Amino acid sequence: MPDHHASSRTTSEAATSTHAARRVSVLLPLPLAGAYDYLAPAELALRPGDFVIVPLGRRELVGVVWGDAIGDVAAEKLKSIAEKLPAPALTEELRRLVDWVASYTLSPPGAVLRMVMRVPDALLPARAIMGYAISPRGRQALAAQDTSLTPTRRRALQALAEGPAAPAADIARRAGCSAGVVRALAERGLIEAVELRSRPPPALPDWQRSGPPLSSAQELAAGDLIDKVRQGGFGVTLLDGVTGSGKTEVYFAAIAAALERRRQVLVLLPEIALSTQWLARFAERFGAPPAEWHSDLGHAERRATWREVAQGNIRVVVGARSALFLPFPDLGLIIVDEEHDSSFKQEDGVVYHARDMAVVRASLAKLPIVLVSATPSVETTVNVEQHRYDRVHLPARHGSARLPEIRVIDMRRERPERQRFLSPPLVKALAETLENREQAMLFLNRRGYAPLTLCRACGFRLQCPNCTAWLVEHRFHGKLQCHHCGHSEPLPPLCPNCGEAGSFAACGPGVERLAEEVTMRFPAARLAVMASDTLIGPRSAAELVKSVEEHAIDVLIGTQVMAKGHHFPLLTLVGVVDADLGLTGGDLRAAERTFQLLHQVSGRAGRAERPGIVFLQTFMPEHSVIRALISDDRDHFLAMEAEARRAHGMPPFGRLAALILSGPDDESADLAARAYARAAPHMPGVEVLGPAPAPLAVLRGRHRRRFLVKTKRNVNIQAVLREWLARVKVPSSVRVQVDIDPYSFL
């Protein structure tokens, strides 16, 4: 985990004397430099963590009492806190996390607080929702077959007699009548207005239900985690096990132990919206679904979940990275599944790594955290080696399932036909799989039809007007799209450069083009494409997963959204169409990430009785990643990666941060870059690389320059950056972004 450089300046619970108006600091969920001082009227009896309404300029805003006053503004000049909100106070642990994350990422604390207060109206008591119930008079009328009741009114009454009280619109819908009919019933006293409970209370997962009997290796691993949950206290454990070894089953046992102790549990999962199988498994194991937290939730659900979490009524939350900032009052365990996944890194706004900050939260709250992976990150592996983290291990797949055999197809020898992308051996394997009535998965980490479209007449390439990026053709949507800014346009009829008509040619494959090839070769095969833009929302992902489970799909073609977690017993063949994709580009983690992704995709094959086989199409069969995959020598590969990082002083052996400047044009970007270069720190143990145009030199119309700061591990890189940033003044049109522990180098 990242070291605790940051001091926690605030949040002293002391000093709650009840003098007339005390002075306190209040943090607002805005990107301001820090908290502001206010007067706290004695009658409000405020304590740190209380949510309050304060005036700011002409506005009134909700903020949090952060601690003692910071400044020395005369009391007469301070404004008063207007009101205290009836919501559970923010715990000290969460306030310290906000300060910690702000300090570590060099973000304004208010910007981090905003992530905690994502649903501001959750702080207000729920508005009462009114509805109608049938009245005694109404029951009588119904029973007496009152002839003055029209058929529609009778239907509406009947609906209420049979079902629960409901809002007028629901009654009308249920009875197939107009709202006027409901009104008329109310006027005649046949139904009466009642206050509805807005939502049923969240169902409690039942820890007493037993899971499947565990194998002895699973039992050992589970026992270790359960002990840690029972003892409490901070500790990080890597749950390391091959795909299909039962890691989920094992950490479910740890969750049960936390629930038994009436504690709350947070599970972080990448791509939670696609994890329908995980949700179903949880519900089956514990008899109730977990609460979900991700960007596809509606506002009402978010609001209710936030509040129920704060009140301790929700016991288990599974979510994407932002769930880390939910206001659990009584967290007892954090699980980070697929801990190596780079989607835990948030790249805009507050730039943070949810796995690392989850470790920080666990340490602040003094509770155990479990990192789960079949392919742990180099960072985590090194932490295990250096005994900062514990490790429990599941060495084999559960039951009779064996790990799949992995074979390389050397594309220099096994060339596909022109404009085709599947080599003869892979086509043959596909044919056999379909003949055996088994399922296949083709993996290609490229959305759309083709990554590049060019003019056959003049070579002109279609480029995004806002970014240094090619436009990607999406035939399903009939559009060219930029994957960086979302720009989209129809394919132009004429080449904008030479004016030739119909001259555009697609270069290279995306998943849509692969689907075309499979259809052409196997017209009878039922296939589906799984990519983030072909799945709209969790429902369609769930439907797709279900149709694969029901064997209504023979060939699944997809990007990395397909690689995660799924368990399809009939899936025996995995074809990786371009194993080299991602190996080039040469960023710090290119090899590691490719290894993890391909290992994970391979792990989809042969998860039940039928053995699986994986084909890797590659032009670089001797590459260390490909060799590690075939020989299944993960530990050697990780050791080599770690050694390379150590040799170059790269994380986790040194520290790294990126400084990204962007301006409205090249000139302003260069000017700012020169100003920062002149002020760059010169000190032992600190190296500044750049400025250089970013690989994505223009993004969303902004011209970008990058610096990379590399320091020894014992250097406080945040302090170095803070000082550097303070020395330079640039025009307000220039944006400066800091990325500590960068994962993207674009």
**Chosen residue from 158, 215, 497, 547 binding ligand ADP by CB under 6 A:** 215
One DSSP character per residue, 207-221 reads TTS--PPPPHHHHHH
241 makes contact with ligand ADP (CB under 6 A): yes
CB of 372 to ligand ADP, least distance (A): 7
176 makes contact with ligand ADP (CB under 6 A): no
Q: Is 707 left (phi over 0), alpha (psi -120 to 50) or beta?
A: beta
The option from Zn ion, ligand ADP, none interacting with 6 (CB < 5 to 8 A, set by class) reads none
CB of 253 to ligand ADP, least distance (A): 10
The option from Zn ion, ligand ADP, none interacting with 166 (CB < 5 to 8 A, set by class) reads none
| E strand or H helix that includes residue 36 | strand 36-40
Strand-pairing partners, residue 115, are none
Within a 10 A sphere around the Cβ of 527, how many other Cβ atoms? Answer: 16
Stretch that binds Zn ion, among 152-160, 274-282, 423-431, 463-471 (CB under 5 A): 463-471
The option from ligand ADP, Zn ion, none interacting with 567 (CB < 5 to 8 A, set by class) reads ligand ADP
Q: Residue 246 or 404: which CB sits closer to ligand ADP? A: 246
**Chosen residue from 345, 391, 446, 487 binding Zn ion by CB under 5 A:** 487
Alpha helices in 648-700 (DSSP H): 666-678
- Could you tell me whether strands 264-268 and 316-319 are parallel, antiparallel, or unpaired per DSSP bridges? parallel
Interaction mask 381-420, ligand ADP, x per CB under 6 A: -----------------x----------------------
Residues 242 and 397 sit within 8 Å (Cβ to Cβ): yes
Within a 10 A sphere around the Cβ of 124, how many other Cβ atoms? Answer: 14
698 makes contact with Zn ion (CB under 5 A): no
Residue 371: phi, psi to the nearest 5? -100, 130
Strand-pairing partners, residue 614, are 406, 574
Q: Residue 174 or 281: which CB sits closer to ligand ADP? A: 281
**Chosen residue from 243, 346, 668, 718 binding ligand ADP by CB under 6 A:** 243
Binding-site size, ligand ADP (CB under 6 A): 14
Residues 91 and 58 sit within 8 Å (Cβ to Cβ): no
Residues 110 and 30 sit within 8 Å (Cβ to Cβ): yes
The option from Zn ion, ligand ADP, none interacting with 218 (CB < 5 to 8 A, set by class) reads ligand ADP
Stretch that binds Zn ion, among 200-208, 331-339, 441-449, 456-464 (CB under 5 A): 456-464
Q: Residue 278 or 328: which CB sits closer to ligand ADP? A: 278
From CA 366, how far away is CA 536, in angstroms rounded?
39
One DSSP character per residue, 414-432 reads SPPPTT--S-HHHHHHHHH
Stretch that binds ligand ADP, among 100-108, 109-117, 239-247, 449-457 (CB under 6 A): 239-247
Residue whose C-alpha is closest to residue 252's, from 302, 295, 287, 216: 287
State the amino acid at position 175 in one-letter form. Answer: A
Both tokens assigned to 539: 């429902």
Stretch that binds Zn ion, among 240-248, 414-422, 484-492, 681-689 (CB under 5 A): 484-492
One DSSP character per residue, 280-337 reads HHHHHHHSSPPEEESTTS-HHHHHHHHHHHHTT---EEEESGGGGGS--SSEEEEEEE
The option from ligand ADP, Zn ion, none interacting with 482 (CB < 5 to 8 A, set by class) reads Zn ion
Strand-pairing partners, residue 470, are 463
485 makes contact with Zn ion (CB under 5 A): yes
696 makes contact with Zn ion (CB under 5 A): no
From CA 702, how far away is CA 661, in angstroms rounded?
9
**Chosen residue from 249, 271, 379, 741 binding ligand ADP by CB under 6 A:** 249
375 makes contact with ligand ADP (CB under 6 A): no
The option from ligand ADP, Zn ion, none interacting with 484 (CB < 5 to 8 A, set by class) reads Zn ion
The option from Zn ion, ligand ADP, none interacting with 398 (CB < 5 to 8 A, set by class) reads ligand ADP
Residues 84 and 50 sit within 8 Å (Cβ to Cβ): yes
212 makes contact with ligand ADP (CB under 6 A): yes
Residues 358 and 268 sit within 8 Å (Cβ to Cβ): yes
**Chosen residue from 258, 467, 563, 601 binding Zn ion by CB under 5 A:** 467
Binding to Zn ion, residues 403-442 (CB under 5 A)? none
Instruction: Check residue 470 and report its DSSP letter.
Output: B
From CA 265, how far away is CA 616, in angstroms rounded?
39
532 makes contact with Zn ion (CB under 5 A): no
**Chosen residue from 247, 307, 361, 593 binding ligand ADP by CB under 6 A:** 247
**Chosen residue from 357, 482, 557, 614 binding Zn ion by CB under 5 A:** 482
Residues 700 and 717 sit within 8 Å (Cβ to Cβ): no
The option from Zn ion, ligand ADP, none interacting with 212 (CB < 5 to 8 A, set by class) reads ligand ADP
CA-atom Rg of the chain in angstroms:
29
Within a 10 A sphere around the Cβ of 400, how many other Cβ atoms? Answer: 8
| E strand or H helix that includes residue 256 | helix 247-260
CB of 249 to ligand ADP, least distance (A): 4
* Residue 311 C-alpha from the chain's centroid: 24
Residue of this chain nearest to ligand ADP (CB atom): 246
DSSP E strands: which ranges in 700-746? 702-712, 735-740
466 makes contact with Zn ion (CB under 5 A): yes
Both tokens assigned to 168: 């007028």
**Chosen residue from 244, 290, 327, 368 binding ligand ADP by CB under 6 A:** 244
The option from ligand ADP, Zn ion, none interacting with 559 (CB < 5 to 8 A, set by class) reads none
The option from Zn ion, ligand ADP, none interacting with 96 (CB < 5 to 8 A, set by class) reads none
CB of 246 to ligand ADP, least distance (A): 3
Q: Residue 264 or 277: which CB sits closer to ligand ADP? A: 277
Stretch that binds Zn ion, among 280-288, 438-446, 457-465, 580-588 (CB under 5 A): 457-465
CB of 569 to ligand ADP, least distance (A): 8
CB of 697 to Zn ion, least distance (A): 12
Residue 594: phi, psi to the nearest 5? -65, -45
Stretch that binds Zn ion, among 5-13, 16-24, 396-404, 461-469 (CB under 5 A): 461-469
Stretch that binds ligand ADP, among 38-46, 211-219, 405-413, 700-708 (CB under 6 A): 211-219
Q: List CB contacts of 202: < 8 A, sequence separation 6 or more.
A: 291, 308, 313, 314, 315
Q: Residue 29 or 241: which CB sits closer to ligand ADP? A: 241
Binding to ligand ADP, residues 557-616 (CB under 6 A)? 567
From CA 40, how far away is CA 125, in angstroms rounded?
22
Q: How many residues are there in the chain?
A: 746
CB of 587 to Zn ion, least distance (A): 20
From CA 346, how far away is CA 325, in angstroms rounded?
13
Residues 522 and 446 sit within 8 Å (Cβ to Cβ): no
**Chosen residue from 81, 464, 561, 672 binding Zn ion by CB under 5 A:** 464
Binding site for ligand ADP (CB under 6 A): 212, 214-215, 218, 241, 243-249, 398, 567
Binding site for Zn ion (CB under 5 A): 464, 466-467, 482, 484-485, 487
